[in-house]
Structure formats: C-alpha cells, structure tokens
Amino acid sequence: MAKHRGKGIAAIEYPTGMNQNGDPSQCWIKVKPDGRIDVFAGTADIGNGSKTIQAQIVAETIGVPYDWITYDNSNTDSSPVCTGTFASRATFVAGKAAEKAALQVKAKILEIAGKELEIDPADLEIIDGEVVAKGAPQTRMSISDVAAAATWGHGELITGTGAQLKPYAAIVDPETGRVDSPPHSAISYAACAAEVEVDDETGEVRVLRLQQCYDVGRAINPTQVEGQIEGGAMMGLGLGVLENCYPYYPSVEHRGGAFGSYLAPGMEEMPQIDTILIENPSQDGPYGAKGIGEMANNPQPPAIAAAVYDAIGVWITELPITPERVLRALEEKAAGKHEPRREGKKVVFDEELSVNTVSSGGIRFEVPA
C-alpha cells in the first residue's frame, strides 16, 4: 500500500547513416547575381530541422550571413538525390554533401574575386559576406560584387555540387557477419538516468525525471539537438511504460484505433528532462557532427526498467511496463516465483518467456553450462 521510488541507468550507442552505407546524398548550390545563395537538396524535413541545419552549414562554409540562404527541397526535378531522412543521416550524410557543395561555391567565389582583385585566390578569404585579402583587410570585395562580376562580366555561373557516399559495405562472411569495409562512419553515444515512482497497488509507473547525456559530435544548432533529445525522451517514455499496438501480444485482439485507446505520451506525463551535450567530434560528419535523432528514444526504456526494479524489486522485461505487468510481477514475487532459477553458475531469468518453453519442437536457445 505504498508508492516506491527507484533509479536506473542505461548507456547506449547508435550508428549514423545507413548501416552498411551505400546511401548517397547530394546537394547543389547556385549564386544569384547579387550574391544570395540558393541551395537545392532532396532531404525531407520531417520536423527534424534539416532545412535549418543544411542552410547553417552552407552559410558557415561559404562565410555569409544565414539569411542569405534559401533552401529548396521541394521536388525531385530541381533537387539532386538524397536517399532520405532516416538512419539519423540528414545532418551527418546530407549535411556533409551541403558542406562539400558550399566549399566548391566558396572556391569559385574566390576564383572570380581573384580575377577582379588581381590577387591569387589562395591569398583571399571570406568574412561575413566579403572577400578579404589575407593580411590586407583594406583590400576587399563584397560577394554581391563578385557575383555581379561573374554574371555580367565573366559570363560565369557560380555554382557548386557536393555528393556524400560511403560505398555499400557488403557482408563478405555470412558465417561471422564480417564486412568488407567499415559500415558505420560515426557512432553516437548516450547515457540516461531515470527516476520513477511505482504504486504497488495499482501498478502505475510514473517517470519523474530523466537525466540524459548525448555525445552529439558537434551541435550545429544546440536548440534543435535539444528538441530531438526531449522529443525522443518522451517517445522513449512511451516505449517504456505506455505504448503498445498489440495490448495482448502476440494476440492481435483489442488493438487501439484512436488516441483514446493507443497511449501516446501526453503533456501531463512529461517528467523533468535534463540534457547534457558532449561534443566529441566525428571524423566524417560536417563540422564533426554525429546523428542523434533516432537514438534519442533508446536509453529510456532500459533505464526505466532498472528504476522499476530499484523501486519494487521485480524485473519486467516485456514492454511496456504496464500497471498490469507490475501487479502480475509483484504477485509472482509474493508467491516466491519471481526469482531466477540458479543451477551451477547459471542464473536463469524469464524462463516462461523463452522459446525453450513456448516452442514445441521448433527452435531452442542452448546455453553452455
């Protein structure tokens, strides 16, 4: 007849980009006669903020104010290939393509400016939308003037393209799973501590607090990173204690067909969420960025499961940790049936769930003693 609090921890890792690569993203950029910059890419913005991120990368790389950039991902006629917004790749892969395209644009701007100023482009740099001679800042030319000169004087289009692709890493050994080249070019890491309160009579679990640390490589836009992490945390909370398409899995009965019967997390379930970002740069991502969009819902469920154990002394390893599962586990514990089987040096949990119990003559999980 009480509410119990508990704490748990989990640490996770997650790859960036498609698991075995082979997933190109491309970008092309053109510069208008007044120096304003049009970026074309095929990356869908599903809310993750890739329009903003790629525009930031281009502005930074060329050296112009952010509001000089227009970004167009609207259709497959004008935009080059992007495999898609999944696999946490929109910043890491597609953002890299944008960086590469921007570097080409920058080189072209410096080349035209070099002709105009009669200075070796290698001795020029771009600062705040102006081409400036290194060491002689009084010698300068605005990018607007460079673009005008290219358009009306040199008869040139300042443009750039970029493509990012790691070739497909084929599995060469189906026995061992070894691949012929590295399949993931950056791995992101996170740790999460959860604090929960469990009502031992109704079985209700409330998540009170999530403290999380993510290695994001480089936060191109810290607010958007927080947005991914906070949104992921609530989705992870849903995975941990609320959501289930098949409430009687493996049965398909009683599926919820409405928000009233499928428990997506609501505002009132929001715990306190603390976010710590670590920037341990990746070798391959734009400005050292890694992708953290997907992993943001991975560490909460195990942290919550450990916190529930800490609170009431039962392991619930089927998700979500519903009030019913809590009460059933507590009932088993009271009946002395929740303890693992110990045999020699083996400690065996969850035997009732194992294929060894449920399959008849089909598949077994053999563990050497």
Partner 1 sequence: MNIVVNGTAHAIESGPLTPLLDVLREELEITGPKAGCHQGGCGACTVLVDGEPRRSCLLPVAYADGAEITTVEGLGTPESLAPIQQAFVHHYAAQCGFCTSGMLLAAQAYLDGGGTDDPEAIQEALGGHVCRCTGYAKIVDAVAAAARGESFDLTQTAVGKYTTVTTGGAT
Partner 2 sequence: MATASLAGTAATEVLRPTSEAEAVEAFGDGDGVLVVGGGTIVVPDLTYRRLRPAKALLLKDAGLSGIENEGGRVTIGAATPLAALVDLPAPIGPCAANIGDREIRGVATVGGNLCAGEGYEAPRGDLQGPFLAVGATVRSAGAGGIEEEPLESFLERRRSRLALSISFQTPAAGAFAALDRPHTHDYTALAVSGARGADGTIRLAATGVGWWGVRLPSAEAAADDPEAAGRAALEDVDPQDDALASAWYRRKVLPVLVRTVLTELEGVA
Partner 3 sequence: MKVVGARIPRYDGVAHVTGRTTYVDDVRVPGMLWAKALRSPHHHAAITKLDTRPAAELPGVHAVITWEDVPLLEYGHLSALGIPADEPLLAKDDVRYKGQPIALVAAESEELAAEAVERIEIEFEERPALLDVRQAFDPEAPKIHQWGNWYPHFEGGMDRRQIRKGDVAKAFEQADVIVQGVYRPAAIEHAPLETQVCLVVPEPNGRLTIYSCTQALYFSLGVVAAHLQVPLNKLKIVGGTTGGGFGGKVDTATETMTSLLAMKAGRPVKWRWTREEEFLCSSTRAPWHMEIADAVTKDGWILGRKMLTLHDSGAYARFSPYGLTKHSFHHTGAYTIPNLEFDGYVVFTNRVPTTAMRGFGVTSVSFAVETHMSRIADVLDLDPYEIRLRNANRIGDTSPNGIVYTDPSTVPTIQAIAEATGHELSAEFRTMTNEPRTGEWLPEHLVAQLGNPEEH
Give catalytic residue positions. Answer: 294
Q: Rounded to whole angstroms, how far apart are CA atoms 274 and 335?
A: 39
Give the binding-site size for partner 1 (rule: CB under 8 A).
36
Taking CB under 8 A as the criterion, which residues in 157-196 touch partner 3? 168, 170-171, 174-179, 182-184, 186-193
Single residue of 276, 348, 353, 358 touching partner 1 by CB under 8 A:
276
> Rule CB under 8 A: is residue 67 a binding residue for partner 2?
no
130-143: burial string, b at 16+ Cβ within 10 Å, e else = bbbbeeeeeeebeb
- Do 69 and 58 touch, CB atoms closer than 8 A? yes
Which among partner 1, partner 2, partner 3, none contacts residue 263 (Cβ within 5 to 8 A by kind)? partner 2
Taking CB under 8 A as the criterion, which residues in 77-116 touch partner 1? none
Least distance (Å) from partner 1 to the CB of residue 211?
A: 9
> Rule CB under 8 A: is residue 304 a binding residue for partner 1?
no
> Rule CB under 8 A: is residue 243 a binding residue for partner 2?
no
> Rule CB under 8 A: is residue 22 a binding residue for partner 1?
no
Q: Rounded to whole angstroms, how far apart are CA atoms 84 and 41?
A: 11
- Do 196 and 206 touch, CB atoms closer than 8 A? yes
Residue 234 has a CB neighbour count (10 Å cut-off) of: 23
> Rule CB under 8 A: is residue 317 a binding residue for partner 3?
yes
What string marks each residue from 170 to 199 as x (binds partner 2 by CB under 8 A) or -? -----------------------------x
> Rule CB under 8 A: is residue 11 a binding residue for partner 1?
no
Residue 72 has a CB neighbour count (10 Å cut-off) of: 13
Q: Please state, in angstroms and as integers, the Cα–Cα distance from residue 239 to each residue in 215, 263, 359, following that order.
A: 22, 10, 27
> Taking the CA of residue 123 as centre, how many other CA atoms within 13 Å lie in the half-sphere pointing to its CB?
12
Smaller CB distance to partner 1: residue 84 or 281?
Answer: 281
Taking CB under 8 A as the criterion, which residues in 280-309 touch partner 2? none
- Token representation of residue 33: 């006669």
**All residues at 6 or more sequence positions from 187 whose CB lies less than 8 Å from its CB, including other chains:** 13, 14, 15, 16, 290
> Rule CB under 8 A: is residue 91 a binding residue for partner 3?
no
Smaller CB distance to partner 3: residue 52 or 144?
Answer: 52
Q: Rounded to whole angstroms, how far apart are CA atoms 148 and 210?
A: 53
Taking CB under 8 A as the criterion, which residues in 187-216 touch partner 1? 215
Residue 190 has a CB neighbour count (10 Å cut-off) of: 24
> Rule CB under 8 A: is residue 250 a binding residue for partner 2?
no
Q: Rounded to whole angstroms, how far apart are CA atoms 245 and 314?
A: 24
Least distance (Å) from partner 2 to the CB of residue 358?
A: 20
Q: Among the candidate windows 131-139, 141-149, 255-263, 328-336, which touches partner 3 by CB under 8 A?
A: 255-263
- Token representation of residue 218: 């480089």
- Could you list the residues that contact partner 2 (CB under 8 A)? 199, 201-204, 206, 242, 247-248, 253-257, 259-269, 323-324, 327
